[in-house]
Chain A
Amino acid sequence: MLKQAWKRNGELRTSTLLTRIFTLLLSVTLVFGILTWVLTVGEDLHTYEPTADDFFSCVEYGDYLWLGDLKQRTISDSLREEVAGCIAVSDYFEAAVFYQAYCKAGQETEAEKWKQDMESLLPTIEAYHLRFAVTEIHEKLGL
């Protein structure tokens, strides 16, 4: 009788213990899964929004290729206005590249068109005191 009682009690305790272990394991995996899902979705939906500092750093360090990427990102109208000088520098750089290419190819008409684009951007660049970038672009491209 006593042995049977012990045995029964032991079975009960083992099943309770197993149930608790499984419950704990499933709870842990559930919490881990939810956290991973939230982080994954958050990461997928996150879009990099540049700041004014990012734009000015690019101009300062002459990273005009990255500046071209930044100008196409979704930025607020107020920021676009704040960094209009940097965007003009990026446009100036692209225009200068094509101006040089058309000049070298001897296609004067096309080259003139790009030169006009470059000149039309100068007032904006100067208004934002970024004239140094124009000098640097000319040096880099050998214009």
Chain B
Amino acid sequence: MGRPQFEAVVASAAREYMELVDLSTGINNNTAGTTVINHYAPDGFIGKVMGLYIHKNGVAGATSGTHVLEFGYPALTRASGKSNFGDTIRYVFSNWDSATVKQSPPTGQTQANVLNDLEFDKTNPFYIAIRNDANVADIQTVVIKAMIKYRQIAE
């Protein structure tokens, strides 16, 4: 009886893992001011946004105007929520839970579809923009948390 032959099995499958990424950001947007957050994947990985939670309070001290938050890709908005100056903007459960002036896409199902193919890589980021069109400066911390799946595509 010969010795058993063992063959090393080298894992060749691409690495894939999930990570909760906190993109919460302090903003100080004057009237007509904008803050932009771009999140890029590591080299050799594709990032996919599996879940997203955003909470932005109304503009403290404002008496008129609106504020808006959008996300997607630079120069290609996939979703946006606009509220009156005193109202919250909140995105949760793949929907605009609060956006009192305008929600884009306009319905729950299309809003959910936005996340289904929201991927990014090392050069094309996951993009979030926060704009203030109220009549005073908007100073606060916007809570942004994303569950991201990173999938390796190259060594």
A binds B: no
- Give the A-binding residues of B (Cβ under 8 A): none
- Give the B-binding residues of A (Cβ under 8 A): none
